[in-house]
């Protein structure tokens, strides 16, 4: 199918000169590499660690992931990390120093072959090892699709639970970054949400990333762990030093509200935080913000309970709208909450085109598109 460039021009044309001025004047864009970027605009709001978590230290997201893998290697003698360039730290430095500390037989490079990386991980997990595989970008996970779907996801089922590869965790940098264009910006979580037998997890912050990655590594099922790469350095928090885990398949209500339920995951949570604030200030609308956290199996009960209260639902993600995971959420909520809905459910997502480069600001589900969707629901 040919790409319809007129679509992107039409998207660009939707922004008036006034909204462009507001966008350029906004304080929401993160400072990346010392300059304010127009693309991937959001403001990271750190979470505070619980006092019960004890000692904390300042970490960005890639340091929190590094710390989680260090904990895993220290506490589990069977754990190994492998992938393209991981021995020297990887392109995002997530594994830096681990080979020196734990040995080159436990943190090692592989050939540039994604299906081989995952296939090797399946084999290691099948004989009892804890295999932590890195795919250098989520955009390049597709060559490993068959290994994940037809082998890892079905290993336990086809053997009648005699064998499993629950020790396999696949990490991959995910999502928009401001300059990644077609092959370094994709969000493929919906592909894997259709596959029984794997878990799919996406963190929003360093604290969450450490706890969720350790939960994935120790979960008795194979897990895919997508890491929002724009947050690797932009997201900084005081992260607990201790070994801790965060439950999978449990959504988190970050802000309670009464008029609209906002659902997202990963980077989009930080966009929706600002949307909730704008809706309150500009429209007098109270928004309940929920981080889905786990795409599969997802926490349907928390979302339904919220929508029964608010009567309105907006789901936002960076992936294209058609077949995106927002569709599954919208369908499930419509089935359970039909009589409580005050307006049609809104999906604010990427467009049905390859991920663009210079048009990235118009492709992403930014705060202005989300706010327009809230207005539409309130005025319905």
Res. 139: pLDDT tops 50: yes
125 against 31, higher pLDDT: 125
Q: Answer yes or no: same fold for 51-240 and 249-378.
A: yes
Q: What phi and psi values does residue 342 have, to the nearest 5 degrees?
A: -95, -15
pLDDT tens digit string along 233-266? Answer: 999 999 999 999 999 999 999 999 999 999 999 9
Q: Which two tokens stand for residue 37?
A: 């970027």
Beta bridge partners of 170: 133, 224
Average pLDDT value for residue range 59-65: 98
pLDDT tens digit string along 192-205? Answer: 999 999 999 999 99
Annotated catalytic residue within 102, 184, 270, 317: 184
pLDDT of residue 41: 76
Going by C-alpha positions, the residue among 348, 377, 376 that lies closest to residue 364 is 348
pLDDT of residue 72: 98
pLDDT of residue 22: 36
| Known catalytic residue at 270 | no
CA-to-CA dists, residue 340 to 306, 308, 343, 345, angstroms: 11, 6, 9, 12
Token pair 């895919």 is at which residue? 224
pLDDT tens digit string along 333-374? Answer: 999 999 999 999 999 999 999 999 999 999 999 999 999 999
Res. 11: pLDDT tops 70: no
For 103-244, strand residue ranges (E) read 107-109, 130-134, 168-174, 199-201, 223-228, 236-240
Q: What phi and psi values does residue 143 have, to the nearest 5 degrees?
A: -60, -20
CA atoms of 361 and 11, how far apart (whole Å) = 10
| Known catalytic residue at 102 | no
Q: Which two tokens stand for residue 98?
A: 């681990």
The answer to whether residues 96 and 89 touch, using CB atoms and an 8 Å cutoff, is yes
pLDDT tens digit string along 83-117? Answer: 999 999 999 999 999 999 999 999 999 999 999 99
The answer to whether residues 165 and 120 touch, using CB atoms and an 8 Å cutoff, is no
Domain 51-240 CATH superfamily: Thiamin diphosphate (ThDP)-binding fold, Pyr/PP domains (3.40.50.970)
Please name the fold of domain 249-378: Rossmann fold (3.40.50)
pLDDT of residue 8: 45
| Every domain of the chain and the residues it spans | 51-240, 249-378
**Confidence band for 42, pLDDT divided at 50, 70 and 90:** confident
pTM for the model stands at 0.90
**Confidence band for 6, pLDDT divided at 50, 70 and 90:** low
Share of the chain above pLDDT 70, in %: 89
Beta bridge partners of 81: 107, 132
């Amino acid at each position: 199918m040919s790409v319809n460039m007129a679509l992107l021009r039409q998207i660009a044309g939707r922004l008036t000169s006034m909204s462009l001025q507001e966008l350029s004047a906004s304080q929401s864009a993160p400072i990346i590499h010392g300059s304010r970027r127009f693309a991937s605009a959001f403001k990271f709001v750190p979470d505070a660690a619980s006092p019960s978590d004890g000692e904390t230290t300042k970490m960005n997201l890639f340091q929190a992931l590094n710390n989680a893998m260090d904990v895993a290697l220290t506490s589990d003698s069977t754990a190994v990390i492998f992938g393209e360039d991981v021995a020297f730290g990887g392109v995002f430095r997530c594994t830096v120093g681990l080979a020196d500390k734990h040995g080159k037989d436990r943190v090692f490079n592989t050939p540039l072959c994604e299906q081989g990386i995952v296939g090797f991980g399946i084999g290691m997990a099948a004989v009892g090892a804890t295999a932590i595989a890195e795919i250098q970008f989520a955009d390049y996970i597709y060559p490993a699709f068959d290994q994940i779907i037809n082998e890892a996801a079905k290993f336990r089922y086809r053997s009648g639970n005699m064998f499993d590869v629950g020790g396999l965790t696949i990490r991959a940098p995910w999502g928009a970054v401001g300059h990644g264009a077609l092959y370094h910006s994709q969000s493929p979580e919906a592909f894997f949400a259709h596959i029984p037998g794997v878990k799919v997890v996406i963190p929003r912050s360093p604290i969450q990333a450490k706890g969720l990655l350790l939960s994935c590594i120790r979960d008795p099922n194979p897990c895919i762990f997508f890491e929002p790469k724009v947050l690797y350095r932009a997201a900084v928090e005081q992260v607990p030093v201790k070994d801790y885990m965060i439950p999978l398949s449990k959504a988190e209500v970050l802000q309670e509200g009464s008029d609209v339920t906002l659902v997202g995951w990963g980077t989009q949570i930080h966009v929706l935080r600002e949307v909730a604030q704008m809706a309150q200030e500009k429209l007098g609308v109270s928004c309940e913000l929920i981080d889905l956290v786990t795409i599969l199996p997802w926490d349907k009960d928390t979302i339904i309970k919220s929508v029964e209260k608010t009567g309105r639902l907006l789901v936002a993600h960076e992936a294209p709208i058609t077949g995106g995971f927002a569709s599954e959420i919208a369908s499930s909520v419509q089935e359970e909450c039909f009589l409580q809905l005050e307006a049609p459910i809104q999906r604010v997502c990427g467009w049905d085109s390859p991920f663009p480069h210079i048009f990235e600001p118009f492709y992403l589900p930014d705060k202005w598109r989300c706010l327009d969707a809230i207005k539409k629901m309130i005025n319905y």
